[in-house]
């Protein structure tokens, strides 16, 4: 993929692909321009306070100084003053480890395990609603599993409890779900009527999807999932699609994206390379090679754009500045089926080797107390900061901020080191820079002009769940 780069100080980078003319990239200002050698040399001198050099390339010395400075608001983002009191207004309830599918690459062994205790759920919901009421904010409740289809009565009871408690507290609460979409018609209609947004995992064509996302009896699931989507659409539920791409399914990626565009109305389709944990390791599934993933992704992106849809990859962000790749360091208030507090959507089992890194407390089984380990919270936040600082050399650091913490820790990537995911991120960020340079908004599906020089990235919620 041949992406090379050089940091000109903390905030400006020279980035090139395969030795092409470099792009001068100032991520904090959302500035990208193509530069020849003479321009680069003068820019370099200008950064060294050579005012004549700055004027020779049409920049005022103050402008150059601004480009070289990390604004105070960005510094505050990187070194946030965390609230002393833990009072989240959103919660992710992992209702169950159980699942209605047995995907061959499931990282969390979906299908085996337990449901959450009702008093634990009650306590978590009342906690966030109480915080939202006191702080005058809206609340958010997200449901995950496993899959809620495997604990349907519990899911319905939870939804209706959240609705009733929100009404009683006078709090506006939005409900979302991460799901496999494998429902009866009645279940899909219920979700459409009660849930505002969903992320649905589908891998592509029947040949691709039904090879990996199988029922407990080994049967196909796609037709049922597509029926659910049709019901979601007619009920007005907003959803996006999340694809897991393996080495085996990669050659079919463009065809799979075309299939999803033809058969669903999803505006956004996210394609993520498999990260082999859990069942994927036992199944000997391989992640795609980074270079091959990028090539297939580019083809598929063109296909999606042809349908007016947007294909995304989690690391491909070109603006904004974040203290961490996702919201885990706040920390995310996630409650597992065992009642543990987790800040990672993938680390749900107490016997997961990464549980010690991502669990930071628990709710007593009878709901009598929420116990937060403040030292562990501090360690989680400090880890996020260290991880981002270890990436300071990279032109993607401000938006990528050190990548998914779970994968980084699991892979053992050290400060200053890169992984295959970094190669993908850099190549696709470079594509976005080229797109911006051509006057297009790289976050929109087709040639819409960017509203401002900086292009916003999506919310830093976990995008890794399958």
The footprint of ligand SF4 (CB under 6 A) covers 99, 101-103, 106, 108, 110-111, 145-147, 180, 325-326, 328, 344-346, 391, 394, 396-397, 400, 402-406, 418, 422, 425-426, 462, 464, 466
In the bound state with ligand SF4, the residue whose beta carbon lies nearer, of 119 and 458, is 458
What is the closest distance, in whole angstroms, from the C-beta atom of residue 64 to ligand SF4 in the complex?
A: 24
What is the closest distance, in whole angstroms, from the C-beta atom of residue 134 to ligand SF4 in the complex?
A: 26
Nearest to 197 by CA among 167, 233, 166: 233
In the bound state with ligand SF4, the residue whose beta carbon lies nearer, of 345 and 360, is 345
Neighbours of 101 (CB within 10 A): 25
Query: Residue 238 and residue 307: Cα distance in Å, rounded?
Result: 18
What is the closest distance, in whole angstroms, from the C-beta atom of residue 314 to ligand SF4 in the complex?
A: 7
Is there a contact between 464 and 275 (Cβ–Cβ < 8 Å)?
yes
Q: What's the chain's Rg over C-alpha atoms?
A: 23
What is the closest distance, in whole angstroms, from the C-beta atom of residue 1 to ligand SF4 in the complex?
A: 12
In the bound state with ligand SF4, the residue whose beta carbon lies nearer, of 37 and 284, is 284
What is the closest distance, in whole angstroms, from the C-beta atom of residue 30 to ligand SF4 in the complex?
A: 17
What is the closest distance, in whole angstroms, from the C-beta atom of residue 337 to ligand SF4 in the complex?
A: 12
In the bound state with ligand SF4, the residue whose beta carbon lies nearer, of 200 and 455, is 200
Query: Residue 246 and residue 375: Cα distance in Å, rounded?
Result: 38
Query: Residue 175 and residue 308: Cα distance in Å, rounded?
Result: 27
What is the closest distance, in whole angstroms, from the C-beta atom of residue 105 to ligand SF4 in the complex?
A: 7
Is there a contact between 354 and 347 (Cβ–Cβ < 8 Å)?
yes
What is the closest distance, in whole angstroms, from the C-beta atom of residue 331 to ligand SF4 in the complex?
A: 10
Query: Residue 43 and residue 23: Cα distance in Å, rounded?
Result: 12
Nearest to 86 by CA among 364, 330, 302: 330
441: its two tokens: 């908004």
Is there a contact between 427 and 406 (Cβ–Cβ < 8 Å)?
no
In the bound state with ligand SF4, the residue whose beta carbon lies nearer, of 309 and 460, is 460
Encode burial over 404-424: b for 16+ CB neighbours within 10 A, e otherwise.
bbbbbbbeebeeeeeebbbbb
In the bound state with ligand SF4, the residue whose beta carbon lies nearer, of 108 and 124, is 108
In the bound state with ligand SF4, the residue whose beta carbon lies nearer, of 116 and 406, is 406
Q: DSSP alpha helices (H): ranges in 88-147?
A: 118-135
Residue nearest to ligand SF4 (CB): 110
In the bound state with ligand SF4, the residue whose beta carbon lies nearer, of 17 and 426, is 426
């Amino acid at each position: 993929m041949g992406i090379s780069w050089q940091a000109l100080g903390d905030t400006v980078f020279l980035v090139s692909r395969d030795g092409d003319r470099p792009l001068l990239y100032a991520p904090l200002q959302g500035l990208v321009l193509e530069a020849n050698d003479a321009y680069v040399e003068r820019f370099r001198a200008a950064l060294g306070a050579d005012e004549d050099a700055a004027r020779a390339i049409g920049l005022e010395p103050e402008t150059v100084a601004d480009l070289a400075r990390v604004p105070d608001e960005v510094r505050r983002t990187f070194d946030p003053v965390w609230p002393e009191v833990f009072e989240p207004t959103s919660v992710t309830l992992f209702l169950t480890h159980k699942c209605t599918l047995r995907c061959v690459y499931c990282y969390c062994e979906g299908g085996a395990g337990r449901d959450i205790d009702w008093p634990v759920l009650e306590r978590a919901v009342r906690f966030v609603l109480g915080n939202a009421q006191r702080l005058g904010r809206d609340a958010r409740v997200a449901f995950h599993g496993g899959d809620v289809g495997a604990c349907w009565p519990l899911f319905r009871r939870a939804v209706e409890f959240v609705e009733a408690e929100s009404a009683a507290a006078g709090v506006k609460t939005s409900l979302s779900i991460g799901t496999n979409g494998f429902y009866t018609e009645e279940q899909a209609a219920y979700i459409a009527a009660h849930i505002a947004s969903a992320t649905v995992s589908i891998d592509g064509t029947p040949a691709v999807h039904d090879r990996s996302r199988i029922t407990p009896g080994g049967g196909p699931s796609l037709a049922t999932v597509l029926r659910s989507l049709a019901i979601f659409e007619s009920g007005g539920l907003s959803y996006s699609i999340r694809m897991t791409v393996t080495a085996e399914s990669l050659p079919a990626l463009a065809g799979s994206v075309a299939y999803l565009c033809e058969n669903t109305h999803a505006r956004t389709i996210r394609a993520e390379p498999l990260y082999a944990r859990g069942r994927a390791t036992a199944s000997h599934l391989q992640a795609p090679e980074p270079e091959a993933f990028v090539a297939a992704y580019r083809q598929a992106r063109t296909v999606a754009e042809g349908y007016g849809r947007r294909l995304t990859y989690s690391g491909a962000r070109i603006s904004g500045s974040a203290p961490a790749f996702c919201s885990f360091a706040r920390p995310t208030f996630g409650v597992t089926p065992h009642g543990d507090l987790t800040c990672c959507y993938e680390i749900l089992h107490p016997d997961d080797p990464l549980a010690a890194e991502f669990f930071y407390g628990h709710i007593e089984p009878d709901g009598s107390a929420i116990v937060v380990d403040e030292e562990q919270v501090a360690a989680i936040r400090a880890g996020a900061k260290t991880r981002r600082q270890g990436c300071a050399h990279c032109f993607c650091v401000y938006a990528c901020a050190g990548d998914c913490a779970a994968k980084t820790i699991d892979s053992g990537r050290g400060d200053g080191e890169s992984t295959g995911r970094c190669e993908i991120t850099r190549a696709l960020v470079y594509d976005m820079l080229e797109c911006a340079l051509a006057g297009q908004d790289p976050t929109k599906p087709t040639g819409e002009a960017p509203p401002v020089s900086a292009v916003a990235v999506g919310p830093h919620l976990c995008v890794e769940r399958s």
